[in-house]
Amino acid sequence: MNLIYFTKDAYKFLKKDLDANKNNYYSDDPWLNEYFARVGLDEYYKSSSVVVDTVQLVHTGDDIETKSKDDLLNVKLLYSAYKDKLMPLQASDPLLWSALCHITFKDYVLKRWKKDNGEVSIGQRFFATEGRGSLTYYNAISRLWWSGYLTYDEDRASTNPWHLTETLFSAQQIQKDLFDQSFSMNRTIVKGLLSALKRVQEENGNKCTIIFRECCDSYINHFGAVSILDTLSAAEIETIAYEYMRKLVKTNPIN
């Protein structure tokens, strides 16, 4: 299929009328054609020249563990299909992801991001913006591609290139805590941190989300203020992060 993207006008209209259209998002009936005809827009999306395999995203349950397992599988499915076709320049376009959420993957978005009250944060999950936060962890579909892009390990293409992605989705909080930091734009740093987390998780038998957050939020940030992390190798960063987290575990065993 050709990847689609909204026109700028279509995106603006949808954003503006989000509240008025809220119930439409939950309806099984297609509503976009009628809506755009009403607002006077003949063409609301375009097909790009990027052709990708059709992807069926999975949703098998609503508990946290199942969501994490499904997210991992969906990252593998989507990123594998789009990997050699989409570059970061194109993947930073909110019009692309917003269109995919509204049209191609609408059912998945509704099922995956349904809260306890049955509602979905439509503004966050169906729409993307140019901000990193939106692209890497809020928008329902772009977060899958960007998680794949930032963690897929080409060096292990023949064995397990997803080993870092598996650690990323071992708990839901890890993705947000890591991608909240600007240093996570550097894949070498991401590799070092996730490798360190994996070691600590294996030694402690739990997800270690709290110490990972503290490591990213305060220690690595402060370390990065006096030292340029980008000049260090993944192994060096892994050592720094691992030693810090291990010290935290010793002083505060319950994490």
Partner 1 sequence: MRNKAIEYPHPVLNEYTNDFMECEFSIEVANHSDNGNSLTLEIKCNLQCEGIVKMVRDGIAKIVLRITCFRTSYRAVYELKLDSTSIVNIPKNLVTDVLDLQAMIVANCDYNTYCLSEFNHNYFGTQPFHLSKGYVIANEPGIKIKLDTVLEKEMAGVVLIAVDPAISTIKVNYATIREENPKLTNYIVITLPDAEYANYAKLRTKKHLKNGIERFLQSSLILPAITEAIGKLRMEEYLIENIEDGENEISYKGTIWAESILKALRDFGVDDLSDCKDSNFELANKILGNVVGDSINNLMQKMTDWSTIRQEDDVL
> Residues 142, 146, 150, CA angle at the centre, nearest 5°?
175
> Using an 8 Å Cβ cutoff, are 139 and 128 in contact?
yes
Least distance (Å) from partner 1 to the CB of residue 145?
11
Is residue 85 a contact point for partner 1 (CB under 8 A)? yes
| Residue from 37, 39, 64, 185 binding partner 1 (CB under 8 A) | 185
| Residue from 68, 98, 134, 136 binding partner 1 (CB under 8 A) | 136
Q: Which is nearer to partner 1, 140 or 189 (CB)?
A: 189
Is residue 121 a contact point for partner 1 (CB under 8 A)? no
Q: Which is nearer to partner 1, 116 or 130 (CB)?
A: 130
| Residue from 11, 36, 162, 183 binding partner 1 (CB under 8 A) | 183
Instruction: State whether the Cα torsion 123-127-129-135 is positive or negative.
Output: positive
Q: Which is nearer to partner 1, 21 or 92 (CB)?
A: 92
| Residue from 23, 27, 49, 54 binding partner 1 (CB under 8 A) | 49
Least distance (Å) from partner 1 to the CB of residue 54?
17
The CA distance from 153 to 188, in Å, is 10
| Residue from 84, 116, 154, 155 binding partner 1 (CB under 8 A) | 84
Rg (CA), the chain: 20
The CA distance from 53 to 57, in Å, is 12
Least distance (Å) from partner 1 to the CB of residue 105?
21
Q: Which is nearer to partner 1, 228 or 254 (CB)?
A: 228
Is residue 119 a contact point for partner 1 (CB under 8 A)? no
Q: How far is CA 242 from CA 72, 122, 163, 199, 239, in A?
A: 24, 38, 17, 8, 5
| Residue from 15, 22, 39, 47 binding partner 1 (CB under 8 A) | 47
One-character DSSP codes across 43-79? --EEEEEEE----------SSHHHHHHHHHHHHHHHH
> Residues 121, 125, 152, CA angle at the centre, nearest 5°?
145
DSSP conformation class of 139: S
Which residues of the chain form contacts with partner 1 (CB under 8 A)? 2, 46-51, 84-85, 87-93, 130, 132, 135-136, 146, 149-150, 182-186, 225-232, 236
